[in-house]
Amino acid sequence: MKKTYLSIFCMALMGISFLSAQEKIPEVEELLSKMTLEEKIGQLNLLTPGGGVATGSVVSEDVEAKIKAGNVGGVFGVSSPEKVRQAQEIAVKNSRLGIPLLIGSDIIHGYKTTYPIPLGLSSSWDMELMKQGAQLAAKEATADGINWNFSPMVDIARDPRWGRIAEGAGEDPYLGSQIAKAMVEGYQGEDLTQPNTMMATVKHMALYGAPEAGRDYNSVDMSRLKMFNEYLPPYQAAVDAGVGSVMTSFNDIDGIPASGNKWLLTDLLRERWGFDGFVVSDYTSVNEMIAHGMGDLQAVSAMAINAGLDMDMVGEGFLTTLKKSVDEGKVSEEQITKAARRILEAKHKLGLLQDPYLYSDESRPEKDILTEENRSLARKAATRSFVLLKKHNNTLPLAKNANIALIGPLANNKNNMLGTWAPTGNPQLSVPILEGLKNVAPEAKIEYAKGSNISNDSSFAKKVNVFGERIQISDESPETLLREALDLANSSDVIVAVVGEATEMSGEAASRTDITIPDAQKKLIRELVKTGKPVVLVLMSGRPLDISEEMSLPVSILQIWHPGVEAGNAVGDVLFGDYNPSGKLTNSWPRSVGQIPIHYRMKTTGRPGPENGDFQKFKTNYLDSPNSPLLPFGFGLSYTTFEYSDVKASSESLNADGSIELSATVTNTGDFDGEEIVQLYLHDKVRSVTPPGRELKGFKKIMLKKGESKTVTFTVSEEDLKFYNSAIEYVAEPGEFDFAIGGSSAVEFKGSFTLKK
């Protein structure tokens, strides 16, 4: 079976020999030789006793009895060294073969030390920072007994109506692949038997980020060509980085649900990509194939195991039906043995077969979790994730002795700092914006007024507040809240309004058809602008929003996503200029929902729209809107300004076995030191399948002092020019390529070169 050099290297470091299809781990094979069919099936069963945040309505029953019977391969929703030791002792001391458990968890953006949501982290374009964050999350989680993580989520998403866009890295396959690699390497390290590393799970395999109508769990339909060129690369990058497990998605692919899709799980994942880990379903996704129309529980369970699924999360279809399917000849025992082997091999790689209590050191939580060092990294990550969307009249950065009216329903609200999918974090340990601003600028006069509710709609609030109060509707009337805010605003020098989405307005099962700021807050913003005072909007959200109205107002706008446990301190660092914002958007922001899906890689057509945005009949454009997004992929401002010059190629042509250097000089022309994310875009002018208008092929983050210039160089080889053709072959074709180097995907092409064969 084909392997990557990286995975072989990692295995060598772990003291594990490279396994071909014929080579086996003796310890695993000895166990398999002793196991009954029922015990093998038991290893394929993943349960939760509850106590944590679930993504479905099912909670497992009689978990302890099932562990003793050898009917459980892993559990999730269990944490702390003591509780994990208890679970392992039940398995090791009370089951016939004493096989330890996998202990899983959703650790999406930090464990107890919560970072910005993944979409926010991706806006840093900082691979080393993201790797460090994953390492720290692994250190904290393993200190609490967890050895297996259901992260990273690498689904490409181009529809901001979809709530889970918050959990991914945006719209671009190149950037998404780099982030997938960094996260896997951060979680798993170089040696999975070390107690501060954990097995990662790339999810959701596959295409989960492209549901029809932007509605979570909905059907997905796209061509193989689009899959391979635009949606599959981040999953493959995680596999190439040596990820230990893969989680299936809820959607169908080519009409077959992912958890039962043999083309996806065997032909593509194992045979084409060479994946040798194990595949786990998402929460009850095997059972949910019944509702997809695939048959009863026995039928869908047989379909899943035959397709290449190894572990059934929570649904227990494998546990209750697979033996019957073997007896009836619908599933072979060999297929079940293969799946059990993969689970046992994962336990071997984690060191659990050698030491079941490797992750049960009771001294670790106090010294490894929520330390000042950990919170410092969370604060740094948050500042690097913020994106300055608009500057107005040099309002920012704020003076540290300013008289500030801090207004807005998210300005002093701990419950909404962590963001969606932070089940292991404690919102009450987060730093709200009011506290953070006072910490950073103690000499400033900062007074607070709520100003409005997040939303005045009580029925909407009830839907959002499933996991606790995120939208609090005040006992005071909206008119009273607004009057208090305006009184405060009129006595200030500058207004900072913290507005946007509550935590659970994005995330799983949180799709929205209206992605504007809620009306209650829109009214507040309009009235604050009417005061004539300088206004800074600090915008919090888990998705790209339609802020067309707000961009037209005389305000500055800083996008902070949901920033995590150090939210307020990080916002203070940026607003007061201790850190100059450098984040760049990883999704295009639409002018309205009518443009969705919109992304920078959209293809030109036979009737391309006019470049100046003016309407032309019989061209691909709208009657009521330009084609372009409100804010393009890669966009982000700074307190300083950058100019690009001398964009050039080292040669007019590139040979198939060589490389070419593309470069530009970047100059800081403003009044502040700052960082710039320099981006390289290519356009294949003629190819055998229609090319996208441009493709990101490189980026570098540089620091420039005011007045300083640097030359940034990208090396491009034939490998960078490859794509999947109509036969799904990965090829580079000779011809001319345009290139552009700049600060966003809207940069103009400045040069070209030719690939020769």
> Is 493 part of the annotated catalytic residue set?
no
Q: Which residue, 70, 54, 64, is CA-closest to 282?
A: 54
Q: CA 235 to CA 134: how far, in whole Å? A: 17
Contact 153, 167 (CB under 8 A): yes
Pairing of strands 730-731, 723-724: antiparallel
- The DSSP string of 467-528 is GS-SSPPPSS-HHHHHHHHHHHHHTSSEEEEEEE--GGGSSTT---S--SPPHHHHHHHHHH
Single-letter residue type at 333: E
Active-site residue (options: 126, 155, 282, 312)? 282
Q: CA 518 to CA 500: how far, in whole Å? A: 7
Q: Which residues contact 159 (CB under 8 A, 6 or more apart)?
A: 165, 209, 210, 211, 214, 596, 597
Contact 382, 115 (CB under 8 A): yes
Pairing of strands 642-649, 659-668: antiparallel
Q: CA 121 to CA 400: how far, in whole Å? A: 27
Q: CA 50 to CA 421: how far, in whole Å? A: 16
Q: CA 632 to CA 477: how far, in whole Å? A: 38
Q: CA 482 to CA 554: how far, in whole Å? A: 20
10 Å CB burial of residue 73 (0-12, 13-18, 19+) is: buried
Instruction: Enter the tokens of residue 137.
Output: 């999350």
Rounded to the nearest angstrom, the gap between the alpha carbon of residue 68 and the centroid of all alpha carbons in its chain is 37
SS3 287: coil
Query: Residue for token digits 């320099």?
Result: 678
Q: Which residue, 287, 288, 291, 283, is CA-closest to 313?
A: 283
Residue 373: CB atoms within 10 Å: 10
Query: Residue for token digits 């996991």?
Result: 467
- Which residues are known catalytic residues? 282
